[in-house]
Every structure is written in structure tokens, then in C-alpha cells.
Structure 1
Amino acid sequence: MSVFSQVSVSHLLTENLPNPISIDNKTPRLSWQLSSPDRSELQTAYEIQVSDRPGGKPSAWNSGKVASEQSVWVTYGGTALQAGKKYFWRVRVWDNKGRESGWSKPASWQMGLLTPADWKAQWIQSAAKEDASQPSPLFRTTFTAKNGIASATAYITAHGLYEAQLNGQRIGDAYFTPGWTSYNKRLQYQAYDVTSLIHPGKNAVGAMLGSGWYRGYICYDWQHNFYGSDLSLLMQIIIRYDNGRIDTIASDGSWKTATGEVRHSEIYDGELIDHRQDQKGWSLPDFDDAAWTSVQPASYPKDNLVATGNEPVKKQETFHTGKLLTTPKGERVIDFGQNLTGWVILKLKGRAGDSIRLSHAEVLDKAGNFYTDNLRRAKAQDVFILKGREEETFEPHFTFHGFRYIRIEGTAGEINPDDYTAVALYSAMPKTGEFECSDALINQLQHNIQWGQQGNFLDIPTDCPQRDERLGWTGDAQVFSRTAAFNRGVDNFFAKWLKDLAADQKPNGAVPFVIPNVTGNGTSAGWADVATIIPWNLYLAYGDRKVLEDQYSSMKAWVEYIRGQAKNDLWNTGFHFGDWLFYRPADDNDGRSAVTDKYFIAQCFYAHSTQLLINAATVLGKKEDADAYSALLRRIKDAFLNEYVTPDGRLVSGTQTAYVLALEFDMLPEATRKKAAARLVQNIQDYNYHLTTGFLGTPYLCHVLSQYNYTTVAYKLLLQDTYPSWLYPVKMGATTIWERWDGIRPDGSFQTPGMNSFNHYSYGAIGDWMYRVVAGIDTYEDGPGYHHSRISPHPGGGLTSAAADLETCYGKISSHWRMTSDSLAIDIDIPANTTSTVYIPAPEGGVITEGGQKLSAVASIHIDGVEKGYLVLGLGSGSYHFLVRADYQEN
């Protein structure tokens, strides 16, 4: 008989998803969370049961009692799993107090289609000659379902983008499916539970397709048909009955096709919808499709099909009431108050043939007029044509816009802003992190960081959502990846994108500028290093070894590419972007531009990628590789010292970025590091506490300052509100992160319209310092995924409080501090089945208590010593309230 339990198990995930229905990993990983009111709660053993029927015996797997603390990424170890089949699982645990939990509530997963032979469907397309300017095709068929339907699953993919319907209802709530991948190598399909949409008797199913990334206009030279010129559909529905029978409805030559109301759709240009061409009820069983034509079956491959393992794009926040403006030019404009990515849903009543055009913009110019020059060739316009008589609703399908403002043209009479609703769309990554402090401008900066991420994490990490680009730039993604992993659960999102990186990596190991690669050849230091940086950051944030296993060959190939380009271990060849968009004064008569030698930067990233490869090899037990690349790393650093550093430790480039990279990537001998940090600080002071870094130096700037005990300087940089600084755009009214430090100049004029996005998340990488240093929540390599966390808050900068909360794989971890003139209160939450090393500021003569007691009287606290003015504590799970009483001074 077990001891009465106070530990429970919840939050069951399969492959990091709740109850997924298209798993193609034949040995899926299972995760759960523990909860207990007690402190220092640890798991010591678990038991998992898996059945092929709800509430049934563990027919697929019974792990038995396994002595292990592991509660995330536990690999399934039962019988072979069958394509399309659903499995149910539950788990119970034993803790370090000898207690046994009850069984968790059951969770489930369903296997996807695992081989090309599992697809009974045929690719189908319109027999008419197609091009990107033609209307979106519709496809449909009818079928008969029998009584006793137990379940039904639809599997769908397309060349192009699709929206599917069944009996007049939209299938699922995902948008821009099947997503953007390297289509010819990896084409995702989606699975949907459609049990509730099917009824006994006659049913109808169909889909509408759009050009999307597959064949639409994409990239700079207005290229199209990049992956193919066709729009094609592949779809099958598997119906399972109570008596065990299975029916399969599959796309084939019997389906019919026509066109409908979407007359033109492009990602950059927008969408034209003509309600007069609406095929009303086209997905209903009794629709008359006599005028429709037969489809044409096609023989496209199915061996590139993969299940979708990342969260799809969904509708998110809505903005119902914008502010109606009339510009000095007399244009009618609605301001939604937030720069976002998505579209506008419009309600309108008028005569047949009347049209309305919505144009989209991020900003108004200094005179208050609608500004679209920075969109370059992207039209970003949606045009709606009315059918007439009754009120009509318009909503795009296969386009998206980056905007805060819309301009309304074509409609007469007064405009009611309530008829226009802005909808944000982005990948449905779970929200994980929150940060707030006592400074309103910093809180707005955090808001801008989050919205910059949301607006650009639309299936891939785009650079910007508004102009004729919207590409998966590798440099932008890598500099922001750690910040991203705080704000949202991005492990599935990035794992998917990294597979496309590996797929598009060149045979010689070079990594293209953008992923998926639609720009051709080309690679650059700091951009291509995404191949090593993001896998390692994901491992630290989520503790998933598989991302390292999956990407290891890609990581190694990238380092080997650099080795092949280097001469005597010095990478001083080829094209590089360098410290992109670094500080350049408008009038640089005295040569003050912060130019950092591009080959200097390349050598630093060569060392960094090699170090991360060593880290991955060590985690994966690849000792020979770890030893070999450790020897290479020593040579890389020696070559750096010989080429770029004087005997006194001065660098050939005296910029902030040069000193930051050299210190962050451990390129300098220990004896010269303090001098180098002091020179960095002197540079910052010379610029009156302004930063001059670009894309590559900015993420590490404040981290290096804190590492070398200059947190006060880091705070001054963070709180600087004149150009160039993080808060300058905030004071200029920004609601997202800008591409340039001075996208709008102090006089209201704009930077060059050829490259001036107002939603470009890269400089939002400062968020990582806010979370890991100001609030103090960080990881350790010996317990990745916050299994062993570090909590080390750094009060300062005149802030009186800061608070961060992060949902980890194990549960919520929190660090809140509040400072008064004579005390510092710190509240900490540590999730069950984890431990934390906590650093409490310990001013000389101060008294520290927890929950009103001396620390020595609290059994759950282990005092490990004092380090740099901090008391170091070892803590188990639970909630803690520390109070530091003293004439408190900032640390």
C-alpha cells in the first residue's frame, strides 16, 4: 500500500505537443510535470502505460517501475506503432519522500502516415493552364459515410497553400498550410480530427488553393514558380467505424474543379476577392457541380511528405476599434494602435460591382500622411468587390500584411471603424515568458520585443512581414533565438526550420543566407553560424538531446566548410555581412563610424561555432570529435591573436562589437581580458553611454559588461533614450522593434526606404539580458531545460522592481525583486523535479531572512558560500520569500 500522496502528475505531452494526431517519430518522446505543495520535490521513479484503446490494458507498452528522475523526453519503448492508429497513455511517479502519485489523467497521440504507401490519395490539379495571376482553384467531391462512425481523420497537403472544407465547415483553424519548407525535399502534411464534421449519408469535401510561397512571387527579383508552376492537392480522409471497418476517401480523377471568389492572391501584393464569383455552398453535399470540370491526376512524389511537428499559424489577437483619421492629403486611414502581422476583416454593404481597396502601412510620415515607400515593390493591398444588397464580410485567405494603418479607397459615404477588425496571425507557439519592471519605457520595450517576435514568427522566422522580402534570414534568427525561447515555446518552431536548414545546406557545408533557400548561393559569418547557435540554444532552453542529434551533421558540416575556407586556421576569405546596420553618424567627418573588420568577426564566429560543436559532441558522447575540434579551437584562437591582437591586448578594430565578440567568445588570454573590458567601457563612455553595435554585437553587449562587473554601465545603455539606443524608438512611438536604430530620425524624417522595416526583431535580443541578468533566470549546462537553473537577480539602474516568470518543461520558474531604501525583497518559485542555484545580493552588514526565518533555520536551504557580493544558495523546488535588510545599495 502506498503512502498517502501529495504529489500529482499533469501536463502530459507527446513530442512536446498535447494529444497530437500526426506523429511520425516511431519512438515518440513523452513528458509530464510534477506538482506538490512541499519543497524540494523530486521524482525518483516513474511508470508509463500505453494502450491502443481508451481505458484499456497497456497493450502497447508497460514500462514497469523505472528508477529515474527523468520526466521530459522519455522515449517510448513498446511494440511497433502503426500508421494512423491512436494510442492512449498515462503515467505515475514516485518521489524522494517515498510517496507514490496516482495515475495521471490519460493523454493520447495518433500516428501519422509513415510511408508513401500509406497515402492512397493521388495528387490532383486543374487541367486548365495555370499561372500565378489566375484565380484560386476549388476542388470537391462527395462520398457516403455509414452509421457508427467512431473517428475520422483528414490528411491534407498541397503545392501552394490550401484551405479545406467539409460539409460547408472549415477544416481546422490553421492558416498558410502546409507551411513553408524546402518543398522539393520536405513537404509537410497536416492531420485534422474531422469526426464531428462527418455524418452518416452523403457528405462533401473540398479545398481551395493559393499560390503562396510555392509558386507566388518571392524574393527580390520578383521570381515566381520557384518550386513549381502547378497548384495541386493531396487529400485523404480515413473513417473508422465502431465495427472495425475502415473507409478511405482519397483525392483522385473523380474529383471536380472550378474557380471561385478569390480571383488573385499573392503574399506581397495582397488578394482580390469578388463576391460576384462566389460558388456559394461549394463544399455542401447538394451543391450542383455540373458546370465544374474534371481534375487532372498528377504523379508528383510522396516520399518527401513529412508530418507537421510544429504549431501552425492561427488567428491570435484582434483589434476591433481603430481610430479613424483624415490625413493632410485627404486620405481616410484607420490606426489600429499596434504594428502587427495579419489582415483586416471588413463588413460592408453596397451595390453589386462596388469595390473597396485596403492598403497597409506601418507608419505615417512626418506630415501625418500614409507612408508605403519602405514596402518597396510590395503592393500590400486587398481589393474586395461586392455582390450587392445585403451586408457582406470580406477576409483574405492566402496573403498577410505587416501594418498598423490601413488606407480605405473606393467606398463612398462615412466610414465606421467598427466595421474593420485587424487580426494578428502568427505561429501558435505557447506563451511562456513574462517580464515587467518599474520603468514604463522598459515595459514598452518588452512589449515591442514580444510583438516583433509574434509578427515575424509566421511558420518561419522572417526578417520582416511587410515589404517584398519576408524571408527566413539566418542571422536575424540566431541573434534572437535565446530571447525568443523565453517569450514563447519555440522548440517545435525552430526544430522544424532547422530541418530545412539542413536540407538546403550546400554539399560543401555552406549555409545559405535565408532558409528556405530562395536566394541561391551565398554564405556569411554570423548568419550561417545559425547552424550551431540555435541547436545549442534550444538544448539549453529545453533540454532536448534530439535537436543536437538531428542537427549534428549539419553543425559539423558548417565548421568543416569554414575550415576549408580558412588559411592556416584563419578565416579571412569570402563575402561577409559583418556587423550589419551598426551605428553610422549622419555626418561622419571625423571617421567615427563603428566599423568592425569583417574578417575579425568571421574568426570570432569560427571559434564560437567550433566551441558549440565541441559542446554538442560532448553531450552526444562523441569523444573523438570533441578532442579533435578542441585542438582545432586552440589553433583558431592562436591565429586570431597573431592576426588581430597586439601584445598589450588592443584589437585591430577598436569598436564595441570587436571587444564584445572577443570577450564573449573567449578569444583573449585571461591576463588581457580585464583590460579589454575596460576599453569596451571607455568606448561606451566616449559615445556618452550610447551603443554603436549592429546585428552581431548587440546581443552580447550587456552580457559582456555584466560578466566583467560593469552591470551599472549595461543599465545605462539599456536606459539611454536618445539615438542610438533601445529606448529611442520607444520614445518615438514604436510598438515593435525597428530594423534600424534611427528608422525615424529625431526630425521625423525616415531612413532610406530601401531598407527600413519597422517590425524587425533582431535588436530585441536585449530581452535576453533583461530576463537572464535583470531578473536573473538562467540555465546551467549540467541541467539543461532548467532542470538545474540559476537565479541571480541584479537590482540596479534606478529600477525599484523587476519580475520574470517562465514556463519551462518542468513548470513555472519565477524571480521577482522589489527594492526600497533599506530592503530588497526577492520572491522565487522553482518547479518540482528541479533544483536551482540562487544568488542573493548580500551587502556588507546586511541581514538575510527567508519567510521571516534566518537562513540557517530553513532546512530546505543549503548555503554554498559567498561569491562577488552574493550569497550562494542551493534550493529545491518550492516558493521562497527572501528579505535583505540593509541600507541597500545596488549590486
Structure 2
Amino acid sequence: MNFQPAAIDGNLVSRAWSGEMIAPLSDRGQGTAASFVSKTFDHDGTGLPIELFISALGLYRCFINGTRVGNDVLTPGWTNYDARIAYQRYDISKLLRPGPNRIEIWLADGWYRSPIMWGAKAIPNCWGDRIGAIADLVGTSGPLLSTDTTWQSGPLPILKSGIYFGEIYDARLETAAETHGTERLPFDKGLLVAHETAAVRELQPLAPIGSWTDHEGRTIYDFGQNVGGYVRYTVHGVAGTEVRVEHSEVLGPDRHFDNRNYRAAAAHTLYTLSGDGDETYAPHFTFHGFRYARVTINGDAEILEIASIPISSVPEPAGGFTSGNPLVNRLVENTIWSQRANFIEVPTDCPQRDERLGWTGDAQVFAGTACWLSDSQSFLKKYLRDVMADQREDGAVSHFSPDPTRLHPGNFPGYAGSTGWGDAIVVIPWVLYTHYGDRSVLSECLGSMVRWVDFVWSISNGPIVHPPSQWGARGFTFGDWLQPVGDNRKPRPTIADDCAATLYHFISTDLLAKIAGVLGEQALEEQMKGRADKIRLAFANEFITPAGRLAHNDQTSYALAFLYDLIPGEHHAAARRHFRQVVIDADYKIGTGFIGTPALLPALTKLGMDDLAEKVFLQEDVPGWLYQVSKGATTIWERWDSMAPDGTIYEPDMNSYNHYAYGAVCQWLFECVAGISPSPAAPGFAEVIIDPAPIPSLSPVSAYHDISQGRIEAGWHCTGSEVTYALTLPEGCVGRFRPGRRHRNVSLNGEPVIEEAVLPPGTHRLVFSLPDY
């Protein structure tokens, strides 16, 4: 047998399995001790390549002769397990020895059957109630060993584990005992596909930057960075001593430990010492969101070493941005850390509380930034397959994917169909196309896109969407979620649901017309162009007054309408004045929520209001990007007001300190401030649009982005009103620069530029003067 895949569907790779999905008879169900399955087998020691193909229902770790196979974390990963399950492939040649060998596969609940969702209605056994493993050991001449009912099983020292719960481990029980057999589970092997993206990996450990003892004698460690991951420590002590580790993201005003925002998630580990020398422990089948750890020791033991271990599916950066403002630089770093912590198999909202779900709205607004900061192509493509698997029969897209509510609608009915969220099925593929030139993702998602835009049209049977106000009703929308209102005695205006829904109705319909054009689907292209025109006209009639004021006179309405060209020419100048005044009246404070925030600064820049963009971006009061940085944030907050100026924690029931959505501003930093954008006309950075909009107070600025062709570098500094801009393009990448309103007296490599210029690969120098505002 060779090592080539047996079948390929797109880039989903399947294979012919000899093994069966087997369940440990030692397993007692969700929330009980984890189990292993094992087999002793002979190997001739020929030294020829041996590969292991392996997957599981639940999470697994595999050991051969006591040595762990690979260093992937949380395998086989998280998908809609009823649609497909990932398998992994490892070269195990060096782990085998001549004669008897032992393979042991540890199994635990994981996402498969841990309680998922929040509160009393959390769903246990969401995708199934039996854990199991399937494996083939394959040599050059065929299978050497496969899972079957001759394998044995037994309980593990992991007495309980869960995604939200954490883990309980008793090291006194580490000697594996094969107390039970196994049984074959009914299972469709066609569900198994090769892991579609990079596996979750550990990043470099973070040592504590400080520690102290609280009034109850517990030690609190500050690791200096909020992460998604876990604590690893080495301890020495007496057998039976217990070490409990609890986690938190923030401290109260008097440095007291506070993790109330974790809600029902216990998010802790409990380790019982064996007493056998120095013992090192980290949880096996869970993760936490935290900066701080509180360690309680019951008994006689000493912590010798402790570290925070971040984990991520996207551990390596693909882009960076620095400026002359340290707060801005920290904001970018915070966004990178939030992406790492929430890109763990699925783009989740948060890594800490009883949620950690792949919210589609968060993912679609952040997708562009995600692709600037890391190579997110396969990660988001995998996610889109979960979105498609969750799509309802009427075309509604789930609020999050993988979606536990789809299989258990009685617990959480109506969790699909919100505009701004479901639009992920159109927006994210387009982002992947422009950034990576991935045409296949457009083809793969096209049918789901059509069903989605048809669904949105059907909500009100026309171009203006009137979402119901009842949660869970068909077409309910989150609108501009968490849009700030300012002083509650005289709140600022906010966008209404019908306007927000209609804006996104247009965005996706117009985008679908472009996608159909790329794919050569001319009939669909014309149909969607016509529908987008109807929405555009209806929007202007419904939401723009004869004086050019938008109906709700709020920042989100103006930002989205201008960014997506929904303001008719006759109203453009007046609407621009109203938009400007709305920002000034808010004292340059942000007035946008989840869907408006990514559009705010790009819209101001598009309109040439760079002075307003600068003031909004750099103001340090709440609500504002730099406010949270000034309060010591090391990741992006869920709410603009997550912490009061005096350090008081906002209402903890819905308050995450690691939510990447508002970090979407980084896309503006790359594309507007640094002035480099992918071109839809030549995607995958075959062509780069060069259009810098310098913010003088940020000087000097430097940005880079790694693409398949190499590295793009851009930077500038200001001397008075003169800007010197340096750009380096790799081979296979050209730039296109057209002087705009903010580029006066332009020279390129010492030669004057009046019209559009094409920049070949290499290093270039632009010099221009900024206008007065």
C-alpha cells in the first residue's frame, strides 16, 4: 500500500480504512473518568516507514511504547461531527522497536460530548454519547495493525474533563490497567477527512511576571498576557496532596482574583500528587482563557516551576504594524493575541467562559484582519464548511458554527438567520479570494451564498428587511451588537434593526454578483446585480431624507452606507456633512458596535476625512480602541466599557476580555495607513493597490505582510507635511499607485508622477505632500 490518499473531494482527503471505530467498555459516559484503548503487537524492526492514521469520537492522545505521538493539541479537532471528522497522520517509524510494542489511545469528552452552550440549558452529548477511536498502522506493504474488538480498554487518571469544566487528574492512578474490552460502534467511515488546517500547537511558554499570596494563603501568578491555553507546572510533594489551579483574565481594583465573567465554566484543574519525585502536569483535553492563575495547595507540596502555555491554530504571524505611538503598537499586538487565543480549531468569540463558540458575525467582520495577521486560508475555509453544514433548509445561516443547537433545537430554538452574522457565508469566501486568490472557495460556497441572500430577501419579501424583534423568531437580527450610546441621560443615536439588516442585505447581494462574475455565472451575476440595484434604490427611499440625512443619524449608518456606495450622488455632499457632524458631536468617540466598527475609519478615510479618523482612532477615553490599552489590556475586549476608569469590572454576565471583533481596525491600519491592499482584479497579491493615507501623529509607520510570493514591506515618515513612503514588493507582485487627494507633488523614485503608475517588484520610494484639513 502506498501513502497516497484514496480519494480527493476538493481538498478534502479521505482514505480506505481497515480499522473500526471502537468504544472502550470502561467508559461510564459524559462527565466521568476518561478511558484508553490499547493493543500490544509485534513489529519486525525492519526500519521501513510506518505511518499512523488516527481519529476519534471525542478528543484523543496517542502513545506508542509510552512516548506521545506528535505534539498536536486537542485532536482530532472540532467540526460538525455529523458532517465530517478530521483524522491525523503521523510517521511513527522511530517510536517502534523490534518485538512487542504497545499502542495506547487516550479518549475524553472534548467538544463531542462535553456540555456546550451556557447556563442550565447547556447541551451534553451534543454529537454523541459514546467516545471511540479508529486507527490504522500502515507500512509500505499494507496495514500492520488496526482497531478492532481485540483491543482492550481501561480508565485513565483523568477523573473528569470538559471544555468548560477543566480537568481532574489523580497521578496515583497512572499505572494503566486493562480492565475492560472494547466494542465496535456503528460509524460511517466516509465522515473521516484529513485535517483541513494546521493542528493546534503550543506556543512558547510565558513565565510569570509577578506573584503574590492572598489572605487565604493562595498564590496568584500574573503571566503578563491574556491567552488561550493552560498552565503547566512542576511540583514536588507528598502523595495525595492536591493542587488546584483557577484562572482569570483580570483582577479587581484591589488586585483580588475575579473570574465571575466565566459564568458557569469551572475552568479549573485539580491535580493529585503521586509523591514520586518531581511531577509535571498540564491538562490534556481542555483549555482556558486567562492571564492570571490562582494556585491552592491542600497538603504538603511546593511549586518548583510554573508557566502559561498559549495554544493556537495560527501560531505564526504573517503581518505586523508598528508606529511612533506605543499604544497603537500594543493595540496591534493585542489583536494578534486575541486572534491566537480564539483561532483554536474554530474562530470563537472567547476562550474563557461557558460559550467559546464560532460566532459568524465576529468571524466575518474580522476575516480581513485575520488574513493580514496570519495565514488564515485553510483555517477559515475549514470553518466555512461548518457554516455550510449548519445552514438550515430555508437558507438561514447559524449564529455560530459548529452549531450545537442545530441538533438540539429544543434547548435553544431559532439560533440562525441574523443579518451581519449569516453574511459570513458570502463575506469570508470573498476575503479568501482576494487575499489568497482562492477561487475554489467561491465555487464551494456559491450554493450556500445564494440560499442565504434568498433567505434574507424572504424575511420581508422585498429589498427592505424588517426583522422581527422577538429573539429566535425567523429573521431576528443582532443589528449593530453592543453599539455604545454614550451618556444614558441623553444617549446618542443608534442604528435600527431594519436599517442594519438592509445594509447587509445589500452588501451580500452586491458581493454575490461580483462572485458570480468571477465564476462566469452570468445569469446569476445579472440576477444579483438587478436585486442589488433594487435594494440600493429602496434603501435611499427608506433611510435617506431629502436633506441627505440618514434616518438614524448614527455613525454606523453613515459608515456602512458610504463605504458600500449606498448614498446617491445628489445626497453625497450633504450626507458627508451630517456624518462629519455626528462624529464631532460625539466628541470623536466611537459610536459603532460589531458591524459598524470595521467600517467607521475606512469610511472616514474614503471620504478624505483623515483628520476625523485620526481623532477617533487616537482618543483614549471610553469608548475607544486605546482606552482599553491604557487600562492594561493585552487582548481585545468584547465591550468598549468592559472596565471602568477606576478598574471596576463591568457586569460580568457578558463581559469577555478576549474578543477579537473590535481588533478589525487593524485592516484599516494595513490598507489605509500603511497603504497596501489586495486587488480583486488580480487576487492573491499578484497586484497590490498602493494608496497610503498617512496619520502624521503616528510617524514613523512600518508594516509587513508575508504572502506566497514573499514579503511586502511598506513604511513612511513625515517631515512637516512631506511624506516619504518606502515600499518593497517581491517577485510575482506588482503595485498600482494612483495619486489621490492626499498625494500632492508626488515623485516616484525621483521622477514626478501625475497619473497612475505600475510599480514592478523591488524597492520604491514615493515622496508627496499632505493637504491641509
- Length-normalised TM-score, structure 2: 0.94
- Asked whether the equivalents of residues 617 and 626 of structure 1 are also in contact (C-alpha less than 8 Å), the reply is yes
Which residues in structure 2 correspond to 1:449-848 (within 5 Å)?
449-520=335-406, 521-522=414-415, 523-574=417-468, 575-585=476-486, 587-590=487-490, 592-821=491-720, 823-838=722-737, 846=745, 848=747
Which structure has the larger Rg?
1
How has the CA–CA distance of structure 1 residues 498 and 890 changed in structure 2, closer, same or farther, with 3 Å as cutoff?
farther
Give how far 1:332 is off. 2.0
Match of residue 124 from structure 1 = 22
More helix by share: 2
Match of residue 239 from structure 2 = 352
- Report Cα offsets for 1:176-201 as digits up to 9, x if no partner: 11111110111111111222222333
How has the CA–CA distance of structure 1 residues 269 and 844 changed in structure 2, closer, same or farther, with 3 Å as cutoff?
closer
Give how far 1:890 is off. 7.0
Identical amino acids, percent of aligned pairs: 33
- Asked whether the equivalents of residues 223 and 292 of structure 2 are also in contact (C-alpha less than 8 Å), the reply is yes
Give how far 1:631 is off. 0.9
Counterpart-to-counterpart distance in 1, 2:294 and 2:112: 29
How has the CA–CA distance of structure 1 residues 27 and 506 changed in structure 2, closer, same or farther, with 3 Å as cutoff?
closer
Counterpart-to-counterpart distance in 2, 1:378 and 1:529: 30
Secondary structure at the aligned position of 2:446 is classed as helix
The residue type paired with residue 211 of structure 1 is: D
Match of residue 42 from structure 2 = 144
The residue type paired with residue 329 of structure 2 is: N
Question: Which among 246, 251, 264 is matched to residue 377 of structure 1?
Answer: 264
Match of residue 255 from structure 2 = 368
Give how far 1:829 is off. 0.9
- Report Cα offsets for 1:518-577 as digits up to 9, x if no partner: 134332110111110101111111111001011111111101111222333321133111
Using the TM superposition, name which of 647-656 and 778-787 deviates more.
647-656
The residue type paired with residue 761 of structure 2 is: S
Which residues in structure 2 correspond to 1:68-217 (within 5 Å)?
113-114=14-15, 118-128=16-26, 130-217=28-115
- Report Cα offsets for 1:752-782 as digits up to 9, x if no partner: 1110100001111111101111111101111
- Asked whether the equivalents of residues 328 and 367 of structure 1 are also in contact (C-alpha less than 8 Å), the reply is no
Counterpart-to-counterpart distance in 2, 1:604 and 1:883: 38
- Asked whether the equivalents of residues 113 and 128 of structure 2 are also in contact (C-alpha less than 8 Å), the reply is yes
How has the CA–CA distance of structure 1 residues 843 and 772 changed in structure 2, closer, same or farther, with 3 Å as cutoff?
closer
- Report Cα offsets for 1:140-198 as digits up to 9, x if no partner: 11222234343221111111000111122211111111111110111111111222222
Match of residue 229 from structure 2 = 342
Counterpart-to-counterpart distance in 2, 1:262 and 1:22: 36
- Length-normalised TM-score, structure 1: 0.82
Counterpart-to-counterpart distance in 2, 1:365 and 1:413: 30
The residue type paired with residue 369 of structure 1 is: H
The residue type paired with residue 794 of structure 1 is: A
Question: Which among 132, 138, 153 is matched to residue 257 of structure 1?
Answer: 153
Secondary structure at the aligned position of 2:322 is classed as strand
- Asked whether the equivalents of residues 827 and 881 of structure 1 are also in contact (C-alpha less than 8 Å), the reply is yes
How has the CA–CA distance of structure 1 residues 686 and 457 changed in structure 2, closer, same or farther, with 3 Å as cutoff?
same
Give how far 1:321 is off. 3.4
Counterpart-to-counterpart distance in 1, 2:331 and 2:440: 34
Secondary structure at the aligned position of 1:318 is classed as coil
- Asked whether the equivalents of residues 795 and 890 of structure 1 are also in contact (C-alpha less than 8 Å), the reply is no
Measured on the aligned residues, the alpha-carbon RMSD in Å equals: 2.1
The residue type paired with residue 222 of structure 2 is: D
Give how far 1:128 is off. 4.1
The residue type paired with residue 617 of structure 1 is: A
The residue type paired with residue 275 of structure 1 is: A
Question: Which among 323, 328, 339 is matched to residue 437 of structure 1?
Answer: 323
Counterpart-to-counterpart distance in 1, 2:384 and 2:708: 21
Using the TM superposition, name which of 638-647 and 180-189 deviates more.
638-647
- Asked whether the equivalents of residues 181 and 516 of structure 1 are also in contact (C-alpha less than 8 Å), the reply is yes
- Report Cα offsets for 1:810-867 as digits up to 9, x if no partner: 21111111222475332211111121113578989857362xxx327xxxxxx5x34x
- Report Cα offsets for 1:676-711 as digits up to 9, x if no partner: 222111111001111110001000100000111011
Give how far 1:376 is off. 0.5
How has the CA–CA distance of structure 1 residues 845 and 718 changed in structure 2, closer, same or farther, with 3 Å as cutoff?
closer
- Asked whether the equivalents of residues 234 and 306 of structure 2 are also in contact (C-alpha less than 8 Å), the reply is yes
The residue type paired with residue 132 of structure 2 is: S
- Asked whether the equivalents of residues 271 and 381 of structure 1 are also in contact (C-alpha less than 8 Å), the reply is yes
Match of residue 471 from structure 2 = none
Secondary structure at the aligned position of 2:381 is classed as helix
The residue type paired with residue 763 of structure 2 is: S
Counterpart-to-counterpart distance in 2, 1:518 and 1:686: 43
Secondary structure at the aligned position of 1:794 is classed as coil
Give how far 1:650 is off. 1.8
Give how far 1:630 is off. 0.9
The residue type paired with residue 532 of structure 1 is: V
- Report Cα offsets for 1:215-249 as digits up to 9, x if no partner: 01110122200111111111111111xxxx33331
Counterpart-to-counterpart distance in 2, 1:775 and 1:171: 43
Match of residue 142 from structure 2 = 246
The residue type paired with residue 562 of structure 2 is: L
Counterpart-to-counterpart distance in 1, 2:380 and 2:741: 39
- Asked whether the equivalents of residues 327 and 368 of structure 1 are also in contact (C-alpha less than 8 Å), the reply is no
How has the CA–CA distance of structure 1 residues 594 and 326 changed in structure 2, closer, same or farther, with 3 Å as cutoff?
farther
Counterpart-to-counterpart distance in 2, 1:560 and 1:475: 19
Give how far 1:208 is off. 0.3
- Asked whether the equivalents of residues 662 and 668 of structure 1 are also in contact (C-alpha less than 8 Å), the reply is yes
Counterpart-to-counterpart distance in 2, 1:847 and 1:770: 22
The residue type paired with residue 558 of structure 1 is: W
How has the CA–CA distance of structure 1 residues 369 and 330 changed in structure 2, closer, same or farther, with 3 Å as cutoff?
farther
Counterpart-to-counterpart distance in 1, 2:6 and 2:588: 52
Unaligned ranges ≥5, structure 1: 1-20, 30-110, 283-288, 857-862, 867-871
How has the CA–CA distance of structure 1 residues 766 and 666 changed in structure 2, closer, same or farther, with 3 Å as cutoff?
same
- Report Cα offsets for 1:386-410 as digits up to 9, x if no partner: 0114111111001101000011112
Give how far 1:127 is off. 2.1
- Asked whether the equivalents of residues 51 and 137 of structure 2 are also in contact (C-alpha less than 8 Å), the reply is yes
Secondary structure at the aligned position of 1:532 is classed as helix
Counterpart-to-counterpart distance in 1, 2:484 and 2:744: 44
Counterpart-to-counterpart distance in 2, 1:24 and 1:443: 48
Give how far 1:426 is off. 0.8
Give how far 1:113 is off. 3.8
Q: How many residues align?
A: 754
Using the TM superposition, name which of 401-410 and 325-334 deviates more.
325-334
Counterpart-to-counterpart distance in 1, 2:715 and 2:767: 12
Secondary structure at the aligned position of 2:561 is classed as helix
Counterpart-to-counterpart distance in 2, 1:167 and 1:881: 60
Give how far 1:741 is off. 0.5
Give how far 1:883 is off. 4.6
Give how far 1:415 is off. 6.0
Match of residue 224 from structure 1 = 124
- Report Cα offsets for 1:651-678 as digits up to 9, x if no partner: 2211101111211222221221232222
Which residues in structure 2 correspond to 1:291-310 (within 5 Å)?
291-310=178-197
